[in-house]
Amino acid sequence: MPWWLILIIAIAVVLAYAAWDHRKESRHLAEIFAPLAEKHRGVVTAGRLLALPQLRFTLDQRPFLATAMANSGAIGKVRGPFTFVEVTLATDSGQEILIARSSPLGRAAKPLAVAVAPGSRWCSGDPAFDEAFSIKGGDASFLAHILGREPRQRLLDSRLPGLELRVQGSRISAHCEGIAETPAQVEEMTALCRLAASNSPTER
């Protein structure tokens, strides 16, 4: 068999598997979103060739979006596939923030970073949270608003793999590794975004 024919067959097999996997993930995500759409009076958009299903709904007069990405692109430390929930604020916060669990190496390096550059790292005053999470970007006043006691505790208690909370201008989003397995996981990310949005000083 010619090498080019073998190559064509191999490519066809890979594409067929990718299409099958996409359909499987789309069906699963649509099933996850269905009860949430009913609960929040939202709308589920069916998956397309290059996109998984989306759930759109409104809470506290703010638009929310829940969906997933199946590619290998990186969002902070979370690499695809990943699920995320995003809320759009009424006013641009002017902030670019990434809040993620610290790696073992990152935790070990924190005392040195503080010693070398005192005051360069924002601290919540909650030792458990400050050790467990790393924060990139953001001014101290804004961080103090969105990372009050309740959101810090929610982040600490979460068992979502690779959980991140991000602020990008007028958007606040929560990301976790993998395709969500249950509606409760999407609800947990929704609650984090909702709390952060309500605490944002730009929304008051």
Identify residue 104 by its one-letter amino acid code.
Answer: P
**Domain that includes residue 147, residue range:** 3-203
What is the CA 127 to chain-centroid distance, rounded?
24
Indicate if the pLDDT at residue 162 is higher than 50: yes
Tokens 């080019």 found at: 4
Which sign, positive or negative, has the C-alpha torsion 66, 57, 51, 28? positive
Give the residue from 168, 175, 169 showing the smallest Cα distance to 192. 175
The pTM of the whole model exceeds 0.95 = no
Give the residue from 184, 186, 174 showing the smallest Cα distance to 146. 174
pLDDT score for 29: 93
Q: Per-residue confidence at 83, pLDDT binned at 50, 70, 90?
A: very high
Average pLDDT over residues 29-36: 95
**Mean pLDDT of all residues belonging to the chain:** 85
Indicate if the pLDDT at residue 110 is higher than 60: no
Tokens 């590619």 found at: 71
Number of domains in the chain: 1
Indicate if the pLDDT at residue 159 is higher than 50: yes
CB neighbours of 176 closer than 8 A, spacing ≥ 6? 78, 82, 83, 84, 160, 161, 162, 163, 164, 185, 189
Q: Per-residue confidence at 88, pLDDT binned at 50, 70, 90?
A: very high
